[in-house]
Amino acid sequence: MNSTKFSRRTALKSIAGSTAAVGAALTLPARGHAAEGKVKGNIRHSVCKWCYGSTGLEKLAAKAASLGMESVELLDPSDFPTMRKHGLMCAMVSFPTGTLKDGKTRVGGIGKAFNRLEHHDTLVEVYGQRIKETANAGLKNLICFSGNRDGMDDETGLKNCAIGIKRILPIAEKHNVTISMELLNSRVDHKDYMCDRTPWGVALCQAIGSERFGLLYDIYHMQIMEGDVIRTIRDNHKYLYHYHTGGNPGRNEIDETQELNYAAIMRAILATGYKGHVGQEFIPKRKDKLASLEQGVRICDV
């Protein structure tokens, strides 16, 4: 994901919750809104809102529903009504942010998050609220980040992340919400980001030891950092709770213009028994952005 594109920054059979608005939410078809048979049903398709900022959520959601997709993701609670209007869910809810006691430092985004103890009190407060909002909307998954190193060694950062995330897990467990930390590249897009390699993320999962915490494996980012994508998925799939796409190099369309074989990667993901969603998170270069989305869905619909 890209923090400059929006302010940051399985399918539910029905959307239910405790509020009257949620109680009136739509019951979801098995494969998107009125689109039975338009996708094969093996991959559960989602798309990230931020990649289509100029399109608008209303138009994006309508297109996603027409393709048989299940989700538009990385949404804030204010976006949920539009999602429900189109019979969609949000497979990964966007992160909350909050201000430290100094009155100026914002935390919760990519650069400043769980790897610093001084951020934890604020993060516990804002994540506690966002977890409840996620659950009240009948949703299940919420993203988080490590933060940048800024001179900190990886071992200390891992320990600090574990301490902070363990503080929010009782709330997540109570509300049946799963927290996923995204793996991002620190070579091209997010210089100095700490959770930039699968082994570090897996070690964090093992240190936390909860089914309510896992990794968001962004295929584009990990191709840049590690390569060997399919082997990594096979070896670590029990810790990989969500997937994002993107063409490399450039993070554009996932077609023949880039180096990754997404059909093969999707087949490898399915072979692990994965039942969650795959979120399209590439930045379309074509003028017709929604045609690029449709192409991406077809490529991944194995």
pLDDT tens sequence across 81-113:
999 999 999 999 999 999 999 999 999 999 999
- Mean pLDDT (whole number) for 70-90: 98
Beta bridge partners of 242: 216
Residue 25 has pLDDT above 60, yes or no: no
The CA distance from 235 to 205, in Å, is 14
Cα angle 29, 34, 38 (rounded to 5 degrees) comes to: 100
What tokens were used for 138?
Answer: 């009948």
Residue 26 has pLDDT above 50, yes or no: no
Which of 276, 275, 295, 298 is closest to 285 using CA atoms?
295
Beta bridge partners of 186: none
Which of 200, 191, 217 is closest to 274 using CA atoms?
217
User: Cis peptide leading into 249, omega within 30 of 0?
Assistant: yes
| Cα–chain center distance at 75 | 10
Residue 8 has pLDDT above 80, yes or no: no
Please answer whether residues 146 and 157 qualify as being in contact, where contact means their C-beta atoms are separated by less than 8 angstroms.
yes
User: According to DSSP H, which parts of the chain are helical?
Assistant: 20-23, 57-66, 80-85, 120-136, 154-174, 198-208, 219-225, 229-236, 262-271, 289-300
For 254-279, write each residue's pLDDT tens digit.
999 999 999 999 999 999 999 999 99
Using DSSP's 3-state secondary structure scheme, residue 162 falls into helix
Amino acid at 189: D
Pairing assessment for the beta strands 277-280 and 44-48 based on DSSP bridges: parallel
Q: pLDDT-derived band of residue 36, with 50, 70 and 90 as boundaries?
A: very low
For 191-238, write each residue's pLDDT tens digit.
999 999 999 999 999 999 999 999 999 999 999 999 999 999 999 999
For 135-170, write each residue's pLDDT tens digit.
999 999 999 999 999 999 999 999 999 999 999 999
CATH class of 20-300: alpha beta
The DSSP call for residue 92 is S
The CA distance from 125 to 281, in Å, is 28
Residue 182 has pLDDT above 50, yes or no: yes
Which of 51, 15, 55 is closest to 33 using CA atoms?
15
Residue 19 has pLDDT above 90, yes or no: no
Q: pLDDT-derived band of residue 11, with 50, 70 and 90 as boundaries?
A: very low
pLDDT of residue 22: 37
Range of weakest confidence among 26-40, 58-72, 225-239, 268-282: 26-40
What tokens were used for 168?
Answer: 């929010």
Query: Helices (H) and strands (E) in the chain — how many of each?
Result: 10, 9
Q: Residue 202 to residues 92, 217, 235, 284: CA-CA distances in angstroms?
A: 20, 11, 11, 31
pLDDT of residue 31: 35
The CA distance from 137 to 126, in Å, is 17
Cβ density class 79-105: b for 16+ within 10 Å, e for less: bbebbbebbbbbbbbbbbbbeeeeeee
Place of tokens 């994965």: 274
Please answer whether residues 97 and 144 qualify as being in contact, where contact means their C-beta atoms are separated by less than 8 angstroms.
no
